[in-house]
Structure 1
Amino acid sequence: MELEPTDLPSSALLELARSLGVDTSFTGWDGASRAVDVGTLREVLGALGVPAGTPAEVEASLTEQGLAPWRRLLPPVVVLREGGEAAVPVHAGAGSTVLAWIIAEDGTRHEVSQQGAWEQPRTVDGRPTSRATFLIPAGLPLGWHTLHAQCGDRAAHCALVVTPRVLETTRKLAGHRDWGLMAQLYSVRSSRSWGIGDFADLADLATISGAQYGAGFVLVNPLHASEPAPPVEPSPYLPSSRRFFHPLYIRVEDVPEYAYLEPAARAVVESLAGRQHPANLEPDHLDRDSAYAAKLTALEAVHRVRRSPARAHRFEEFCAEQGQGLADFALWCALSELFPADAPEWSIEPRGPRGPFAAEHREQLAERIEFHSWLQWLCDQQLETAQRAATDAGMAIGIVHDLAVGVQFTGSDAWTLQGVLAPGMTVGAPPDMFNQQGQNWSQPPWHPGRLAESGYTAYRDMLRSILHHAGGIRVDHILGLFRLWWIPVGAGPGEGTYVHYDHEALIGILALEAQRAGAVVIGEDLGVFEPWVRDYLAERGIFGTSILWFERENDVPLAPDRYRQACLTSVNTHDLPPTAGYLAGDHVDLRESLGLLGRPVDEERAADLAEQSAMLVALRERGLLPPVGTEPAPTVQETVEALYTYTALTPSSLLGVALVDAVGERRTQNQPGTTNEYPNWRIPLAGPDGTAVLIDDLPANARFAALVEAIRVRAPRP
């Protein structure tokens, strides 16, 4: 669908859009201001449930927006910072008496008093209605409480969330430095893998990098759930669910019931594993579907083994703790095995897991629902083992999980959480310097109003699940918790607009759940953003992200001492080639071959060469590379080490070392703006000679050791 150009927006349409947090213009990466198309504004407002197709609808919607808060006794949710008071507007019939109180998470009751007199009444739906302010007392503990109000026979309640002023786990890192590996787990295999890196490989990677090399953390790609059976989406950033995990990563042999397989069943599983093991040495392409199909067959055999009473009890406890969310996810998995994503059955009942279609199949598919719930329990157990291995190896942080921006349109979350997602919209990014045609991530956005109405429950539950066995979380595109680029489905990436969210609530809840888990939070705050956003994140104790190639000041590389302390600093990111490939200009060649450049390739190469030359000058000025003309010239590996040492000269508390750089890999893992034009997320870890690198090889990998030594010795901890 191409949005048709329309006339200029009316002042009423602009007012309506702004009242709902919808931007009517935006500033591009080049600094120019651009007006949002009228058609885009109308479609976005429609997705928010606000009619705006005609002038009469716009006027009616403006009136409705003004009256909506007055129809509520309490707001949908209250989020505040610890230690402070909060004023809450309460609306009731003129002359009414309202009582308000809080039931805290621990069951204690706290009174809430009215502050000041009732305001002058206004007529709402034919009745005089007034407003007063009630004061939430200071000193409430951190947590999820409930605010209650009573007015005659009318009662209301809403979630009251008290969040940390500053995330304590981040504050503890001030004056301390940790470096860690950044890895795409599926690509990091061992001799025992089934062709894809798994949770046991993660435990080994953490142990090797922590105990032998002194790493403080391992940052991995999102481990979110994908489809319940092959074929599966290769991108870890386009999951089915962000709350649950991908059984593809389960190490079958580590499931306790595996030891009790009958001989015939064990022979089948061993045969499946034996057929997959040669894929660990495949250097060119990862085959998720083959690995997943083999694992599911094996896991079904293991699932048939009777669990011990203790194990059965722990599984029951896990299911009870996960509650309805797990039951709905497992139902979706079971249904997806029966009906493909485009099957008409999915549209029979639009109410998702709450409708009669779902209820009927819960009974019919009880065994498969139990199986998929069991798989999630195994994921949880093996993640717990990986985190314990990391901390036992001396890691101060351990495993850092990555949180994707959103989910697939046809996935579990889109079905089970449809009440808090915006229909007819996808998210992405407007054109920028690196992605000059913009990006469409094919993911439905949170509906800001409905998410607040729900008390942010789905958001909270997702964070709790990810943080259950983690030392940290990286939030991809954390700017999306402030505003997201909404694109009407079918429109081009540049034909969208920003929609704003209650960042005080979203960041506060993120900090609360991380503090309770004892985890650090790293926000990927790259791209187009307003300058105050980074200051706000720092104020709340959320780490930022700095990538060496993107940090510039007055068109020259940013000096090391100008980097942020509360930051994860690294040379590159998964959306760029490994550093050896970047130095060779592979990213320019690749984008040209795919038709992704917005200017002539010669101009692009010249700009890239100038950028790299400026960086190399900065390295020489600090003695990290020899002067030009020195013989022999520095090797690619020596230049890579110098670039990492440059990051180690910064005050940043966290330094990221890409595993691909540590082993000499050169191939790009992901090229934004493509799907199947390039084998995104399907590149195995290999060395400079193209040979697969296994976890078994890392303890004796000289290139790995040299890069780590360059960071640890030439730039000691602050």
Structure 2
Amino acid sequence: MTGEAIIEKLAAACGIEPEYRDNWGRIHPTSIEAKKSILNAMGLTVDSPEPAKEAWHATLARKWSNLSDPTIVVNVSDPPKKLFFQMPVRAQGEAPRGLKVSLIITDEQGEKQEHYYTQTDLSSEETVQTEGRTYHRWGIPFPRVQTLGYYSFHLSVLIGGLQSSQIIFVAICPEKAYIPTALQGDARAAGISISLYGVRSERNWGIGDFGDLREILDWVAEDLHGSIVGLNPLHAIFNRRPFNTSPYLPMSRFYRNYVYLDVPAMEDYRDSPEARTLVNASETQGLLSELRASKTVQYEQVAGLKQKVLRQVFQTFLENHWNRAGNKTDRHQEIENYVEREGLLLENFATFCALDSTIRSANPTVWIWSQWPPEYQRPDTEAVRQFRQEHRQEILFHKYLQWQIEKQLSEVQAKAEKIGMCIGLYHDLALAIDRFGSDSWAYQESFLPAVHVGAPPDAFSQQGQDWGFPPPDIKKIQEDGYHLFVKEIQKNCAFGGALRIDHIMRFFHLYFIPEGKLPNSGAYVSQPFGDLLGILALESIRNQVVIIGEDLGTVPVYIRDRLKDANVLSYRLLYFEKDDQQDFMRPESYPELALVTVATHDLPTLAGFWTHRDIEVRKDAGMLDTQQAVIGAAAEREADKRKMIAVLQDLNLFPEDFDENESVYAKVTGEIHNAVVGFLALTPAKLFILSQEDLFKDPDQQNLPGSTSEYPNWSLKMKYTVEELRSGKASEFCDMFRNWIDRSGRNKKQPLNP
């Protein structure tokens, strides 16, 4: 077998796809160089024929040397008939003697079932010879396990005096994700999405917080008759501009950003005269006034002020509860229980935060963990163990913040359910991680080095996109029973009624770009989508959370079909839903199992689209570097606007006296605004979400992809304060939206739980 042939076999075995089809229909074969680079990143040395041959033999040996698969994800409606295992035998065709098998099944509560098999219970499957050894594969009847959940299968095999055993992680999963009673049949719902950081109010500290979110729930439910409030990802970030403020590039996807805490609502704040004195000081009040008045979120100043106050609040907690002599207080016991439930996941996160704070205090020029002393660059070193012992209080502080975040967020979702919102909070799970963040430090073996995740060239980015973060090592994650994936879904399903999965194609395949190469030099690598969708459906059912898959871009038909079968809602944008002639599709053409909206944070708002605001911004940022490019973008936009007006007219969504003249195309008039909202409300899609920017005709989008300091990404604030939402200033927009919610039958105020 030639060296290139070995590369091809290894690539196929490792899921590297041989080609992909772009959104212009062109086929792009994966180059042998891309395959080599990705295989090297996977730990297979293939730079020359001999190492490649060794890698191939090692891959074959690993396949047969394990007793069974490390992880099995089962569809409860269609379980496998057999559980397979393999063992080395002396010679091909030689019947083994004294073959005995035991299987002990342990559920999540520790309850056990024991099964024993003799040779007569087994089916003989196949014999193979590889790497000088002979292996035989058998099957035993797959045990009947009807209860959804996670199980440990302890398989033990005795053959010819040789015993082998293995723990197999088994997930018993539903076929479909959760759909609440309020959305079954032809029922539909609607709501508003906000960027919580950008919420303005007279009481917050220059950034939206959970107290503001409570008020927004009342506004959406009572004034708009909505039942959903969509949020940006609340993941923990470094809160440093311009590189560390994106909620879609978090330091951790497991834990959240403390800047969203409503500090005055904390019990320990109310019990802390020192904290209240600090906040009420004239200097602090002056700073708060400046932060509220700022047109953009000042992350560093907000985070610095909140940290300062929260540390004083934490001291009060220590004095009143943690260090208090005698019996433990209820709050002491509560945080202990929380820390125990979270386990190593929280320990690693809090340790990282404490290390980052401690090391940067000593040396402010150290910004990323790869600059830390080598002994702190892994979580399992002796130096880190000693740090945990010596800095227990600092680590506890960061655990305390997460405990308080979850308490407040839980209360917000409980309020949503109490006031009859059928979904309540709609969360967002980012695809990316900050490669210098907590997750990348704590779980280094779960990510592949020397490759980045990105996207191939498409209509959105004709050069392709390198997103700059490492892909997961899915083999390692699979071998670990998908533990990190399960935790990620569980943590992000909590305290909400819906969850959006950013780039849902990640479950099927990811585009890998070798480090140092252009995006068009990459390749798609397959992911175990059946397993990942099964676990997603299981957590959706358990948490009673609707799942929305962001399926924008070049999406193969089979992916959308499989998502539909699993009850994962599609994510459809007004701008992108066009037919083969590039005309906008009519409302009835939208799928039922979908969420519809105008745009995303990365695209122009409706007002920005109409006035070419995004084109101006891209020009100013140097992204449209010729006048011809600007003219071309503007001409294409005007054509789209005319097509949109045409379909809205055809649907009779304009008043009878609507006058289509040139002035119509200059800005989003009230008639156009009303018609677009009505268009989306009338689709059969289960969920309709309008961003607050599109409700209030704000021309500025939250993010300009590809920019850093050229645009105020992730920091723009709402047009109206929370207090103004229910006043005359915003009432015209609110009345229009509520009218469409009522007319389209999306007014669904009933409890989330059936």
Q: Cα–Cα, structure 1 residues 342 and 105, in superposed 2: closer, same or farther, change >3 Å? A: closer
Residue among 603, 628, 632 paired with 1:603 = 632
Task: Confirm whether residue 223 of structure 1 aligns to residue 234 of structure 2.
Answer: yes
* Separation (CA, whole Å) in 2 of partners of 1:142 and 1:83: 11
1:710–1:273: structure 2 CA closer, same or farther, 3 Å change rule? farther
Q: How does 1:668-683 map to 2 (within 5 A)?
A: 668-683=701-716
Match in the other structure for 1:3:
none
| 1:564 aligned residue | 591
**Closer/same/farther in 2, CA of residues 387 and 421 from structure 1, 3 Å limit:** same
SS in 1 for 2:183: coil
Aligned to 1:4: none
Q: Which stretch has the larger CA shift, 278-287 or 213-222? A: 278-287
8 A contact 2:178–2:540 mirrored in 1: no
Of stretches 89-98 and 455-464 in structure 1, the one that deviates more from structure 2 is 89-98
Match of 1:111 in 2: 115
CA–CA distance in structure 1, aligned partners of residues 243 and 401 of structure 2: 16
- Give the whole-Å Cα distance in 1 for the aligned partners of 2:732 and 2:462: 35
**Map of 1:252 onto structure 2:** 263
The correspondence of residues 328-367 of structure 1 with structure 2, limited to 5 A, is: 328-339=348-359, 340-342=366-368, 346=372, 348-349=374-375, 352-367=378-393
Which whole-Å deviations, capped at 9, do the CAs of 1:316-356 have from their partners, x for residues lacking one? 11101101111111000000112334466646248721221
For the 8 Å contact 1:548–1:572, the answer to whether it is kept is: yes
Q: 1:45 to 1:534 in 2, by over 3 A?
A: same
* Corresponding letter in the other structure for 2:612: G
Change (3 A) 1:346 1:631: closer
Aligned position for 2:87: 92
Distance 1:580 1:230, change over 3 A: closer
Equivalent residue number for residue 326 of structure 2: none
What SS does the corresponding residue of 2:124 show, helix, strand or coil? coil
Q: 1:38 aligns with which of 29, 32, 37?
A: 32
1:369 paired residue among 376, 395, 399: 395
Q: CA deviation at 1:475?
A: 0.6
CA shift, 1:261, in A, is: 1.3
CA contact (8 A) 2:103 2:114 kept: no
C-alpha distance in 1 between matches for 2:239 and 2:571? 33
Q: Distance in 2 between matches of 1:348 and 1:631?
A: 67
Distance 1:222 1:579 in 2: 22
Query: Is this contact kept in 1: 2:238–2:245, CA < 8 A?
Result: no
Contact 1:191–1:277 under 8 Å retained in 2 = no
Partners of 2:734 and 2:212 lie apart in 1 by 19
Identify the residue that residue 145 of structure 1 maps to in structure 2: 151
How does 1:69-80 map onto structure 2 within 5 Å?
69-80=63-74
Matched, 1:62 2:73: no
Partner of 1:136: 142
1:34 and 1:229 map into 2 onto residues whose CA distance is 39
Determine whether 1:612 maps to 2:645.
no
Question: Within 2, Cα distance between the matches of 1:341 and 1:133?
Answer: 54
Given residue 433 of structure 1, which amino acid in structure 2 is its aligned partner?
A: A
Q: Does 1:698 align with 2:725?
A: yes
CA contact (8 A) 1:670 1:681 kept: yes
Of residues 27-36 and 59-68 in structure 1, the stretch that sits farther from structure 2 once superposed is 59-68
Residues 1:160 and 1:171: Cα distance change in structure 2 (over 3 Å): farther
Give the deviation of 1:9 after TM superposition. 9.2
Structure 1 distance, partners of 2:697, 2:303, is: 28
What's 1:121 paired with?
127
Moved more, 693-702 or 315-324: 693-702
Is 1:290 the equivalent of 2:301?
Answer: yes
Quick one: structure 1 residues 569 and 123, their matched pair in 2 at CA, closer, same or farther if it must change by over 3 Å? same
Instruction: Judge conservation of contact 2:204–2:292 (CA < 8 Å) in 1.
Output: no
The answer (yes or no) to whether the contact 2:155–2:168 under 8 Å persists in 1 is no
Aligned residue pairs, count: 704
Is residue 606 of structure 2 the alignment partner of residue 586 of structure 1?
Answer: no
Q: Does the residue aligned with 2:190 lie in a helix, a strand or coil?
A: strand
Corresponding residue of 2:18 = 24
Residue 213 (structure 2) pairs with residue 186 (structure 1): no
Give the alignment's TM-score, normalised by structure 2. 0.89
Task: Give the aligned residue type for 2:352.
Answer: W
Deviates more, 1:661-670 or 1:347-356: 347-356
* 2:363 alignment partner in structure 1: none
CA contact (8 A) 1:580 1:665 kept: yes
1:529-548 matched pairs, under 5 angstroms:
529-548=555-574
Q: Deviations over 1:415-436 (max 9, x none)?
A: 1111211112221212221222
Alpha carbons 1:224, 1:242 under 8 Å: kept: yes
CA shift, 1:311, in A, is 1.2
Whether the 8 Å contact between 2:226 and 2:741 is mirrored in structure 1 is: no
Change (3 A) 1:516 1:411: same
Q: Secondary structure at the match of 2:74?
A: strand
Other-structure match for 2:683 = 650
Query: What does the per-residue CA deviation read over 1:415-471, in whole Å, with 9 as the maximum and x for residues that have no partner?
Result: 111121111222121222122222222222111100101111111112222222111
Post-superposition Cα deviations, 1:477-531, rounded to whole Å, max 9, x if no partner, equal 1111111111223333332211111011111111111211111111111111110
Following superposition, the deviation at residue 277 of structure 1 comes to 3.2
Secondary structure of the residue aligned to 1:39 is: helix
Partner amino acid, structure 1, of 2:466: N
1:385 maps to 2:411: yes
1:520 paired with 2:546, answer yes
Q: Quick one: distance in 2 between partners of 1:221 and 1:572?
A: 14
8 Å CA contact 1:225, 1:245 repeated in 2: yes
Residue identity opposite 2:248 in structure 1: Y
- Distance in 1, Cα, partners of 2:250 & 2:572: 26
- Per-residue deviation, residues 277-307 of structure 1 (Å, max 9, x unmatched): 3246536321011000000000001101134
* Alignment-mate amino acid for residue 582 of structure 1: F
C-alpha contact (below 8 Å) 1:232/1:289 kept by paired residues? no
Once residues 487 and 586 of structure 1 are traced to their aligned partners in structure 2, the CA distance between those partners, rounded to angstroms, is 32
The aligned residue for residue 324 of structure 2 is: none
| 1:430/1:493 contact within 8 Å kept | yes
Amino acid at match of 1:109: Q
Aligned CA distance change for structure 1 residues 311 and 120 (closer, same or farther; 3 Å): closer
CA RMSD of aligned residues (A): 2.4
Query: What aligned pairs does 1:463-478 form with structure 2 within 5 A after superposition?
Result: 463-478=489-504
Give the residue type in structure 1 aligned to 2:618: R
Question: 1:222-257 CA distances to partner (integer Å, 9 max, x unpaired)?
Answer: 000112889971100000000001111111101101
Structure 2: 5+ residue stretches without partners: 90-95, 322-328, 360-365, 748-754
Distance 1:335 1:497 in 2: 37
| 1:624 counterpart = 2:653 | yes
Name which of 693, 696, 702 aligns with 1:660: 693
Give the aligned residue type for 1:92: M
In the alignment, is the contact (CA less than 8 A) between 2:376 and 2:384 conserved in 1?
no
For residues 638-667 of structure 1, the C-alpha deviation after alignment (integer angstroms, 9 at most, x for no partner) is 312211211112111100011111222111
How many angstroms apart in 2 are the aligned matches of 1:590 and 1:9? 50
Task: Pick the structure with greater CA Rg.
Answer: 2
Opposite residue 244 of structure 1, the aligned amino acid is Y
Distance 1:494 1:199, change over 3 A: farther
> Following TM superposition, by how much is the alpha carbon of 1:60 offset from its aligned partner in structure 2, in angstroms?
2.6
- Map of 2:745 onto structure 1: 716
Aligned CA distance change for structure 1 residues 467 and 310 (closer, same or farther; 3 Å): same
Q: What is the SS of the residue equivalent to 1:109?
A: strand
| TM score, norm. by length of structure 1 | 0.93
The verdict on how the C-alpha distance between 1:650 and 1:358 changes in structure 2, with shifts beyond 3 A counting, is same
SS of corresponding position for 1:494: helix
Cα distance change on mapping 1:713 and 1:646 into 2, 3 Å: same
Q: In the alignment, what sits opposite 2:337?
A: 317
Distance 1:437 1:170, change over 3 A: farther
1:662–1:707 Cα contact (<8 Å) kept? no
Amino acid at match of 1:62: W
Give the secondary structure class of the aligned counterpart of 1:21: coil
